[in-house]
Each structure stands twice: as structure tokens, then as C-alpha cells.
Chains A and B, each alone.
Chain A
Amino acid sequence: EAQVTQNPRYLITVTGKKLTVTCSQNMNHEYMSWYRQDPGLGLRQIYYSMNVEVTDKGDVPEGYKVSRKEKRNFPLILESPSPNQTSLYFCASSSRDGQETQYFGPGTRLLVL
């Protein structure tokens, strides 16, 4: 089954404790991205990757890092989480077709105390 998976699905942590949210897709997609969703602000893109070793900032990259060492994986790293990073996070992937559809993961709900 074609899918995007994220782990963990729920996470409670404390300010400053490094964490990683993993994202994996099994569709051999080149393009992957991370969004965060906050009440009243909608979904906003954090980082994206056009292919292995190619990443770039989205609209709200501050406080986040990403890496793309393998095509299927695109982890989101919070080196020093802060309470304003409490949010619902989604990973998405798509092919390089001109009219590509984006497939979203189930989401990771993060609470930073």
C-alpha cells in the first residue's frame, strides 16, 4: 500500500531536549516536505527536498533542520525545541510529474513544555 508514515504520532517533550520526527514514503517519490498546522494559521511549509541531498527552506524554517540522505526518508529535527514549536506536523511526498499529487502522512502532534 502506497503510504507516508511518520513517527512518533504523539510526543511530549521539554524545552531544549533535541528530538527527531521521522518520515518515510514507499512510493519512490523525489519530492518530500514538512508542514506544520496551527489553529488560525493553517498549514505552513517548513522545509522541502527535491531529491537526495537537496533540501531548501519553506515559509517557516526557523528552529528546524532536515536531512535527505535516502530517497525514502526525510526526518525533521528540532535541535532545541521551544514551546512555540508545539504544533501538528505533517510530512508529504510527491513525484516529479508536472501535475503531481501530494500524499500526506498521518501527522505528529508535538507538545513542548
Chain B
Amino acid sequence: DAKTTQPPSMDCAEGRAANLPCNHSTISGNEYVYWYRQIHSQGPQYIIHGLKNNETNEMASLIITEDRKSSTLILPHATLRDTAVYYCIVRVARSYGGSQGNLIFGKGTKLSVKP
């Protein structure tokens, strides 16, 4: 079973920030939080990942709470092309002796960006 809990769906107005929450209350100290998204039956696309500190890249920001039991993916200016299912995944990085790269995808959050 996935180790994360996400709301099944969310709406966001175009141009506004989309904040997607994820609960991972059983996360271990050596587990990272990864976010992928899947746009309508296309291959999943990597967005961002982090361990403890907040992270930002050209696509999104990842805010991880201090106790690491939850995180939020932020799309700062959502567009219609950001409509997708967003998956929050917790896994051990291989450098920490993690298993082979099986990503366990839960049900994700279906984000609908509306004009």
C-alpha cells in the first residue's frame, strides 16, 4: 500500500497558486518525498523531490513540515496544462540502501485548473 494520503481531487483557478497536500505520517528518516504527475494517460513526469528542506525548481516548490509528516506541492501560477493527477510518493533513495527503484503510486490528487 502507498505510504501517503492525498485528497482525491482539487480545483484551482488559472493563474492562481495550486497547493496540493500530502500526508506521510509514517515516513522514516531516510525516506524522500517525491512528486510526479500524469497528464491524461501520458507517462508520469517527475516534478520535484526533497528530504527535509524546502525545495524549488522551475516547475514547483515543495514545502515539507518540520516533523516531515506532511508536505505541500505548490504550483505558483497554475495553467490549464497543469491539469493532471499528482502523485506524492515516499521512498528510500538508493544511496541509503533503498530497494530497486519501484515507485509505489497511490491514487493521487486529480487537479483541475479552470479558466
Q: How many residues of B contact A (CB 8 A)?
A: 20
Q: A-side binding surface: helix, strand, loop or mixed?
A: strand
- Asked if residues B103 and A98 are in contact (CB atoms below 8 Å), the reply is no
Residue-wise interface mask of B (38-53) relative to A, using a CB-CB cutoff of 8 A (1 in contact, 0 not): 0001111110010000
Q: B-side binding surface: helix, strand, loop or mixed?
A: loop
A45 to B99, CA, bound (A): 13
- Asked if residues B46 and A102 are in contact (CB atoms below 8 Å), the reply is yes
Enumerate chain B residues within 8 angstroms of A97, measured Cβ to Cβ.
94-95
**CB neighbors of A among B74-115 (8 A):** 93-96, 100-103, 105-108
Q: With A4-B43, A101-B46, A107-B42 in contact, do A42 and B105 touch (Cβ < 8 Å)? A: yes
By Cβ-Cβ distance, the 8 closest A-B pairs, closest first, are A98-B95, A104-B43, A43-B105, A101-B46, A98-B93, A45-B102, A42-B105, A104-B44
Q: Which residues of B contact A (CB under 8 A)?
A: 32, 41-46, 49, 93-96, 100-103, 105-108
A sample of 22 cross-chain residue pairs with beta-carbon separation below 8 angstroms, ordered by A number, consists of: A33-B101, A42-B107, A42-B108, A43-B44, A45-B102, A45-B103, A90-B44, A92-B103, A94-B101, A98-B94, A98-B96, A99-B32, A99-B49, A100-B94, A100-B101, A101-B49, A102-B44, A102-B46, A102-B101, A103-B46, A104-B44, A107-B42
